[in-house]
Structure 1
């Protein structure tokens, strides 16, 4: 998976149209790097450059887009604090790039080209690896979104414009 393949799949599956796909500017990426306190992994920066301000219906239920991504680490820490008895904390190097429903978050700590993604769901006993790479995480989310959309496509529940 890469940004070109993702764009193609989003358009082919009708999860997005060209007008609903928006990327970040270089200065916005710089702001994200400041929050991350290090260079962004290449795979994540590629995603941000091409999709981070919107990707149609894809990831609409997730706080992953700019500018929300600038404030996600405190949200993740709050989620963990709700379960103090588990004694969980984010590593200092963790960059939280997504939060869903204020009860789960995704992060990475490595600055490799395509880092593993870690996941936490409220009440889980640990933060666990959910994907070997950032693009694998995106692929899994896309497959789930495509399946969900196929169930409502061309029905009264299809809310596309």
Structure 2
């Protein structure tokens, strides 16, 4: 399915002056569409804005970003990957509030997605040194991580501690669950 827009608004877009790091430089001459996009294949949220065919914002939302309202109609966030600070000027406090609300929502979703992908990585990575080599079975399944009741060995019933009699012809063949 790829990347889909999930929320759009209009704003004047600015970037912090890379030389002074103090002054705002307008990157659009007029209000442009600023959209949140969600990429379901990569589980990533981005803020994208185009001025004509030129991308003036392409910012991936990460869990450590924060959106700050600096006035009634202006907000900003820093994007370390793009090495810039973006600023948005809105036509109303309402538009700014809605954008900030969505930023917080998608930032939290990005945090959860990151946690989930880290858990997946931990499950598929090689076992740590703490576990004995014989304890881990492959492929990793919930049963092989925790062991089933049958696999948990109690001291008084160790496997193969007594020779087992061959089944008679009338008995059902022994099968291990």
More helix by share: 1
Tell me whether the two structures share a fold, i.e. TM-score over 0.5.
no
TM-score normalised to structure 1 length? 0.25
More strand by share: 2
TM-score normalised to structure 2 length? 0.23
Highest Rg: 1 or 2?
Answer: 2
